[in-house]
Structure 1
Amino acid sequence: MIGMLKSSILGRFMLAYTFMAAGAIINVIQLLAVPLAWVGFKNQSRNLVRRLTYLHWALIPAISQWWANIDITLHARPDDMTKFGKEKALLVMNHKCQLDWVVIWCLGHYYDVLQNVKAIVKSSLRVVPVIGWAMWFNEFIFVRRNAKTDGGIIIKSLDNFSSFRYDYWLLIFCEGTRFTPDKQKTSNEFAVKNGLRPLKHHLVPRTKGFSLISRGLRDTVPAVYDVTLCFPGNKDPTLSDFVGGRDVKVDLIIRRIPIEEVPEEPEKCSEFLHEIYRDKDQLCEFHQNHQRFPIMGELPAYEGCVKKRLEKNKSALFVIILWMVLLVPPFVALSLFMLFSGTLMQSIVSSLVIVAISLTSKVILKSGSPTSSYGS
């Protein structure tokens, strides 16, 4: 029965409707909370926005774990694991596929920082319904991928981050865009031209942003998390797989690097980041060949790591059930009435609403597509 629901258009539509309707409701309430910051209650406004964000973003791990059966195995040193979720951190992650975000949302929920996850994202995401609006309310850093303007945007945002009173994760994809074979070709041409080692599983990282951010956060953020994810079977899943409820397995490895080990001098910081990505490339190559990470002494930097399977979160399940109980029955009843018992105008409006939800869900799914001006 559940399998039929996952593969049905109706099941996917109700999932999309619940996610977007819940998000729209949360966005409206968050909008009402914004003026609090204008009249001297900035921290209270932030706390309200964060708590409201959890009520929406909890749907992501709920759908991931209870609908799509995403199975995440975390690898890290035990001492590092005890710090996850209990300190501010800069996350440097490989940008492998459309589910990168979903994995981080699940990890953040597991360590109780889901509502405090931030990221540096392209400015076009700001207008994406529900997701982009939530990012704006949560003070994500929106960049235009323009060296002339992005530096100022980042500096201003980091100054704002210094006033956060809660622990947060700031996620940065240093490759600047998601990996594809065409972009890899452009990346390797750049690497050869500039005396760098070409990478097999990653694009050459953009170092200026990382250097600027690590310097700006040095006094308030104690660590950089070097995050690498791989998918057993060497097949990168898509958001369509996710929505379709197809089982996905994820291997995730995290290395905690104290912020004082990150060089402040730009050229040394650049080499430091390149070394991180060379390590990531070794990790992904080993995983591709052995379907596991090299935590048994094969790579000294990861020796001592242990495996931890992220259990399904019941609180996220409770949140999505609550939203579905509140939103689905009234929507179904009203839609059926307007379609079959209402006036012609009501039937047209009901049909347009259904079409609008379907189109908006496609826009959200498309926002994860690998389109960029990389290499231009």
Structure 2
Amino acid sequence: MLLSLVLHTYSMRYVLPAAVMLGTAPTYILAWLGWRLFSFFVPGARIYQEVDDRFYNIYQSMVLFFFENYTGVQIILYGDLPKHKENIIYLSNHQCTVDWIVADILAVRQNALGHVRYVLKNGLKWLPLYGWYFSQMYLVIFPEGTRYNPELTKVISASQIYAAEQGLAVLKHVLTPRIKATYVAFDCMKNYLDAIYDVTVAYEGTVDQMGKRKEAPSMAEFLCKECPKVHIHIDRIDKKDVPEEQLSMRRWLHERFEIKDKLLIEFYDSPDSQRRNKFPGKCINSKLSLKKTLPSLLFLGGLTASMLMTESGRKLYVKTWIYGTVIGCLLVSIKV
């Protein structure tokens, strides 16, 4: 009985962050919608974009409060550590839903959190309230197209067979990357880019007692503090070093994933226990200050609490969930 209660209490550790992140969504959408309407009377698209980015920064900062400060996870950085804000395309291996948070983790350390945009799986556009908003975003790209899950052996096998048939190196810890999103993004944005960040992520604690790689943590597991460390390796590639022709870029992208694969083989499979569970080279333990996240939590939480304290506010809150979801789905359908 006591053990069951302890286990139940532990599993509920994600409920508070999930409730706050989802519960503040109508407040965020209403604030954004209010600014969107007001911006029609403000000259210049730049002003609208700056305030829109600021709203987005506030919400994402609140999310990072839970994923970093609340969980106490250690962020270990390797490679070309970002020193200042740049216009970039972020390429990463893809293992779980926490991966998009990792992009924010790097962005907040460059004071660029409000400018992060994503290429997301098509089905995510149907998320209540967020779906339409997310469907407008870009720049963070997961070229594998789907998550690498060691339990999905058919997906991994199909990816390896395809690579072999195409005369490409067969990869062990990542899937064969797809070129389309990367090529289109680079081709459209090359005149504005500074670099590509080639990012390799590994979640510590994802190896079982037999030394076999396990599935990466879900958001709920991450928020339950089941991941003690996230290891992030960054290669900064100047845009002049990226081939512009699609076939050449395809070979280049696969070579980048070969490098990722070698890093992950070192992390998961190194026979030397001293080299396992880390990437090669120097690293730093990067801790995020509460000053970066707590004000956003208090701001959005306070606005939401104020709305819910009145009957009219509660009605507006519920209507925002209902109508915001319906209208968002309609907009996505029309766009499709």
TM-score (norm: length of structure 2): 0.77
1:286 to 266, 271, 274: 266
Please say if 1:112 is aligned against 2:88.
Answer: no
Report the CA distance between 1:310 and its aligned residue. Answer: 1.8
- 1:257 matches 2:241: no
Q: Residue 175 of structure 1 is aligned with which of 144, 149, 165?
A: 144
Q: Report the alpha carbon displacement of residue 239 of structure 1 after superposing the two structures with TM.
A: 1.1
1:214 maps to amino acid: F
CA distance in 1, matches of 2:127, 2:39: 24
Which runs of no fewer than 5 residues in structure 2 stay unpaired?
A: 1-5, 208-215, 271-275, 326-336
Size of the alignment, in residue pairs?
293
Taking a change above 3 Å as real, the CA distance of residues 6 and 74 of structure 1, as seen in their structure-2 partners, is farther
How far 1:76 moved relative to its partner?
Answer: 2.0
Question: Equivalent residue for 1:94?
Answer: 93
Q: Which runs of 5+ in 1 are unaligned?
A: 142-169, 296-305, 336-345, 361-376
> Which residue pairs with 1:311 in the alignment?
287
Q: Is the 8 A contact 1:18 1:327 kept in 2?
A: no
SS of residue in 2 equivalent to 1:251? strand
Cα drift, residue 124 of structure 1: 2.5
Q: For residue 176 of structure 1, report the CA deviation from its aligned partner.
A: 0.9
How far residue 66 of structure 1 moved from its aligned partner, in angstroms, is 2.1
Q: In structure 1, what is the Cα distance between the partners aligned to 2:254 and 2:225?
A: 36
1:230 corresponds, among 198, 202, 213, to 202
- Residue 213 of structure 2: aligned partner: none
SS of alignment partner, residue 200 of structure 2: strand
Q: What letter corresponds to residue 34 of structure 1 in structure 2?
A: R
Give the whole-Å Cα distance in 2 for the aligned partners of 1:328 and 1:13: 17
Between the aligned partners of 2:185 and 2:306, the Cα distance in structure 1 is 47
Rounded Cα–Cα distance in structure 2 between residues aligned with 1:123 and 1:31: 24
In the superposition, the TM-score normalised over structure 1's length comes to 0.70
Q: CA RMSD in A?
A: 3.0
What secondary structure, in the 3-state scheme, does the structure 2 residue paired with 1:177 have? coil
| Identical columns (%) | 24
1:125 counterpart = 2:124: yes
**Alpha-carbon distance in structure 2 between the residues aligned to 1:204 and 1:221:** 25
Deviation at 1:36, TM superposition (A): 5.5
Q: Residues 47-196 of structure 1 correspond to what in structure 2 (within 5 A)?
A: 47-77=50-80, 81-83=82-84, 86-136=85-135, 139-141=136-138, 170-180=139-149, 181=152, 182-196=154-168
Cα distance, 1:186 vs structure 2: 1.2
CA shift at 1:213, angstroms?
2.1
Does residue 213 of structure 1 match 2:185? yes
Match among 7, 26, 29 for residue 27 of structure 1: 29
Q: Equivalent residue of 1:230, what SS?
A: strand
Q: Residue in 2 aligned with 1:271?
A: 251
Matches within 5 A, 1:290-301: 290-295=276-281
